[in-house]
Amino acid sequence: MLEIRFHGRGGQGAVTSVELLATAAIDEGKFAQGFPSFGPERRGAPVMAFLRIDDRPIRLRCKIANPDVILILDPSLIRIQNPAADLKPNGIIVLNTNKSLAETRQEYGFTHTLAVVDANQIARQVLGVPITNTTMLGALLRATGCVKLESLKGPLQERFGPMAAKNIAALEQAYQQTAVEEAKS
């Protein structure tokens, strides 16, 4: 089972990302379970969302305490929440940042496999707004291969209708531009 925890802020689309990815996994014949974790927060407050994908039925019904992957939509959350603290030793960090892999490792001390992409720039350029959820899904697919890129296009079309083409373009551009580096010992 692959367990992914999304860290974002209210309004960034973490919950939507989980729904889209779960739908794509189900469309591929896999089992998926996704749910948010937030209280009465307002736009901009830290939120988490959880996703499990497996080839077998998923019986767990709890938050993900030790994820295989963390996806961080807003790097300012690293200092507030330390999302990588409970990541599995062979886990993957997918981060929205304009920094290189080396700069990111140096700044945050990450030793896990690391995937970085400047999702803000891509979102502004392609979508015209700094909403990075579909962009970060491209980075996640590049880092994990948890579903096929093509499998996300249907859910994006259904969710975003006339805006789907731009979201698909952002997804594909992020997939191409994501830099991935294996864990450092």
Residue 140 domain boundaries = 2-181
Percent of the residues in the chain that have a pLDDT greater than 70, as a whole number: 97
Q: Which residue has the tokens 């690391």?
A: 114
How many domains does the structure of the chain reveal? 1
CATH code for the domain in which residue 152 is found = 3.40.920.10
Question: What are 1's two structure tokens?
Answer: 């089972």
Taking the mean position of all CA atoms in its chain, how far away is CA 149? Answer: 14
Place 67 in a pLDDT band, splitting at 50, 70 and 90: very high
pLDDT at 11: 83
Place 38 in a pLDDT band, splitting at 50, 70 and 90: low
- H-type helices in the chain, by residue range? 14-27, 77-81, 101-108, 119-126, 133-144, 149-160, 164-177
For the packed helices 164-177 and 119-126, what is the interaxial angle rounded to 10 degrees?
150
pLDDT at 42: 67
